[in-house]
Chains A and B, each alone.
Chain A
């Protein structure tokens, strides 16, 4: 479903990815592990079509993501990708509801459809009660849920999470892992980039892939 073929990514003179090849099946949950600076986020950005590789290609569902013009890359993200960012990347002055609906805004959907998507997503993440609160007034754990809700609201086939527990304490990290389990059970393809050991021995994780110095080391 997701294939990276000899992907090289250079930022100026520095090599972030050195001929990386990788294949993910539909419904698979893969953990990318590796120290900071090893190239995990770069891989995620390439899969999300946020970045173009210097050479090599990224293919998702038979589509060459690495060749998509900006306009179509955005549509591809809108329809297929749910991105959970390390720093949540929420808009602090907007409410929970507004943040979660943000990916759907350009689609101009009918009101009822929007409301039902919102309702479903917020209840599944247990933040319905906070719907009207401004994000900046929420705790870290709540913000994490909002970020997840925003990633899930468009029903994406692929969920990408970059260091999802980096800003959470252990209790909240475990909670996130439970939410991850629920996502996995819905047969979504999930990629988590992390150096948090909590992720390395989970029964529902299909593979842990180690990234080191711009290369993929091991596919367990």
Chain B
């Protein structure tokens, strides 16, 4: 293979590229940036998909909500235990949360209770739970909640108005970041007990019950049994819970942006090169080469080397840029586009997950296309009569 490479020809090709330096540098930059953009998109979506699979592993298979007159009401601990005793159920967690209206600012906060022993479906909660140990009278607020509170002169604590009209003072222990547009923007996290106090739940009450089953195949069956056992309950299955996520992941993560970028990429590079083709000096050079004994295939080989040198190096450079951007710098901006509407994850872990298939695909939609666009116009010139240069 190496022996087949004509290094003189490759040297000539490199010289040709350097002679048209500014244009080729421009192409190189555009080419690598587009590869980088595409590859970043792919890497990011692959990582998020991997993350997503992590996420749904922890998600409850079934959520049971108590209702009266089709309004949600709390459950008692004994129900949690009764559910746990059903065959096929592997674990149950009583969850405590609710909405709190802060009328002064005309907004609604989501109060989420945590408890050190829970295995949270929500990775943000999981993280917070690991990072902070909250005492009975403290809470973590999201950055936008912190802003709202500050605007209303609550810098260190907040007075919740409890169900019975009395006040509950809670210290702000810390702030965590969530984008303004996210569904978690107005999230407040505090111990279960505190949430109960504010909403007037009894000590033994839960907002709903998260259920894990032993065998996923049995979800439908167990759901049926639960409905029999608790005729008032509203039963939500994992797939219903995840539908929202699915939409974000499948729609945002990629398809749109990717297709757009691929189209732009191919369009730009090809049109640019097609339109300019060989200029008159390059045409003359092709004529000279033919006149001094280069075959058409020699000329095309030189062009092939030119195409390979520029597109392959730009491709590799672009992939490296994307790896650095996504996995070292954690994909600023691009991540925001992806997670625009809904994120529980302010700092996504971005597990290193490279989908070789997409890297290969990216190669095949870019490099050969560019090489073809380099060769074809020269081929048209090279097959013309060479005696033009005689004049």
Binding site for B on A (CB under 8 A): 41, 44-45, 48, 50-51, 70-71, 74-75, 77-79, 81, 83, 85-86, 89, 91, 93-94, 98, 101-106, 108, 114, 150, 154, 162
Check A74–B390 contact: CB distance below 8 A.
Answer: no
Chain B contact residues, CB within 8 Å of chain A: 6-9, 12, 15, 19, 284-285, 288-298, 301, 383, 385-387, 389-391
- A86 and B8 contacting across the interface, CB-CB below 8 Å: no
Given A44-B390, A85-B390, A108-B9, do A103 and B385 touch, yes or no (CB 8 Å)?
A: no
Known: A50-B385, A105-B6. A78 touches B15 (CB 8 A): no
Q: What's the nearest-Cβ distance from chain B to residue A78, in Å? A: 3
Main secondary structure of the interface of A (DSSP, over half): helix
The distance from the CB of B10 to the nearest CB of chain A, in whole angstroms, is 10
In the complex, the answer to whether A94 meets B291 with C-beta atoms within 8 Å is no
Contacts known (A48-B291, A50-B291, A91-B285); A70 close to B296, Cβ less than 8 A: yes
CB distance from B364 to the nearest CB of A (A): 29
CA distance A87 to B109 in the complex (A): 83
Q: How far is the CA of A167 from the CA of B316 in the complex (A)?
A: 48
B294 and A74 contact, CB distance less than 8 A: yes
What's the Cα separation between A81 and B296 when bound, in Å?
17
- Is there an interface contact between B295 and A106, defined as CB atoms closer than 8 Å? yes
Q: How far is the CA of A74 from the CA of B15 in the complex (A)?
A: 23
Q: Is the CB of B293 within 8 A of A51?
A: no
Q: Which residues of B contact A71 (CB under 8 A)?
A: 295-297
Which of B285, B288, B292, B301 counts the most chain A CB atoms within 10 A?
A: B292
Q: How far is the CB of B389 from chain A (nearest CB, A)?
A: 5
B8 touches A108 (CB 8 A): yes
Q: How far apart sit A50 and B293, CA to CA, in the bound complex (Å)?
A: 10
Of the candidates A83, A114, A154, the one having the most CB atoms from chain B within 10 angstroms of its own CB is: A83
User: How many Å from the CB of A41 to the closest CB on chain B?
Assistant: 5
Smallest CB–CB gap between B4 and chain A, Å? 9
Pick the 7 closest A-B CB pairs, nearest first.
A78-B293, A106-B298, A77-B293, A74-B295, A50-B387, A45-B387, A108-B6
A12 CB to nearest chain B CB (Å): 13
Q: How far is the CA of A114 from the CA of B7 in the complex (A)?
A: 13
Of B12, B19, B284, the contact of A105 (CB 8 Å cutoff): B12
- A154 near B293 (CB under 8 angstroms)? yes
CB atoms of A103 and B389 under 8 A apart: no
Q: Could you list 12 A-B pairs, sorted by A, with CB under 8 Å?
A: A45-B387, A50-B291, A50-B386, A51-B387, A71-B297, A78-B292, A102-B12, A105-B294, A106-B6, A106-B9, A106-B295, A108-B8
